[in-house]
Amino acid sequence: MELLEGDPLFKLPFELLLDDPPVIVVNKPAGLLTLGGKPEVPTLERLVKETIKARFQKTGNVYLGIPHRLDRPVSGAILFTRNSKCAARMAEQFQQRQVRKVYWAILEQEPKESSGTLEHYLRKVPEVARVEAVGANEEGAQLARLSYTTIGTTNLGPLVEIELETGRMHQIRVQFSTIGSPVVGDVQYGASTRFGEMTDSEQSDERLRPIALHARMLCFKHPIRYDDVEITAPLPDYWPEIEFSDSARIEHR
């Protein structure tokens, strides 16, 4: 899609990956809330709504369906819909686990196995934005399952590609921390290193710090045409150079 100089998209802190009405996919920057927060706190939801309103000169409220979200310190592909019918169809795809969600993460420590499946029971800590791994029979425990493959290396640690089989809060972060391989920069879950570049004003707010976790790919059925859609989100500029393994080099070159 060609953008004109006056287009509101030029002024936004995110990249538009897909604008195929009624579906919008953007590349969320780390440090930005998906939704919620106080009215004065910027969120991706508000920015996308403001863009739609300015672009199409809408005078009333703008509808925006949000079938999934990304944690504040996480970057990458996130999907929105522009009408309630398609929002319901996309929500069903996510609930039925028909959407393929691929993440890239840099870990502080190499997992014992270069690839495998992680399965834990997770529980949200009451009144705190935090999740913990617990026993299967603990009250509030929910099964969390993902698969991963080590696909490369960086100067900060190994790069793994992850596919979610469930969609629990902070799932990737908690599961890798539980096996002793926290995501680089994720001090909330045991990381000892910082990640990304921060301005002086941002240094004092840990919530704005990025972690080395990126929603790399979304694959889903278009809610109107039902054809397959595959979206890949470019990595942020501050990610380090990656040396891909032989098996991954051809795919990601």
Mean of per-residue pLDDT scores for the chain? 89
**Looking at the domain assignment, is residue 148 inside a domain?**
yes
Token readout for 33 is 């809330």
pLDDT at residue 10, as a whole number: 45
Task: Give 93-112 pLDDT, tens digit per residue.
Answer: 999 999 999 999 999 999 99
**Looking at the domain assignment, is residue 1 inside a domain?**
no
CATH number at residue 92: 3.30.2350.10
- In this prediction, residues 68-81 reach a mean pLDDT of 96
For the entire predicted model, the pTM comes to 0.91
- In this prediction, residues 26-34 reach a mean pLDDT of 94
Q: How many domains does the chain have?
A: 1
154 has a pLDDT exceeding 80? yes
- In this prediction, residues 47-73 reach a mean pLDDT of 88
Least confident of 50-64, 92-106, 232-246: 50-64
Q: Beta-carbon neighbour count of residue 190 at 10 Å? A: 16
Token readout for 227 is 């054809």
- In this prediction, residues 185-199 reach a mean pLDDT of 87
Would you place residue 215 in the very low, low, confident or very high pLDDT band (cuts 50, 70, 90)? very high
pLDDT at residue 246, as a whole number: 79
Domain containing residue 16: 8-252
**Looking at the domain assignment, is residue 65 inside a domain?**
yes
232 has a pLDDT exceeding 90? yes
**Looking at the domain assignment, is residue 235 inside a domain?**
yes
- Per cent of the chain over pLDDT 70 is 89
**Looking at the domain assignment, is residue 248 inside a domain?**
yes
200 has a pLDDT exceeding 60? no
40 has a pLDDT exceeding 50? yes
5 has a pLDDT exceeding 50? no
19 has a pLDDT exceeding 60? yes
**Looking at the domain assignment, is residue 2 inside a domain?**
no
**Looking at the domain assignment, is residue 3 inside a domain?**
no
- In this prediction, residues 212-230 reach a mean pLDDT of 97
Higher pLDDT, 11 or 168: 168
Backbone dihedral region of 164: left (phi > 0), alpha (psi from -120 to 50 degrees) or beta? beta
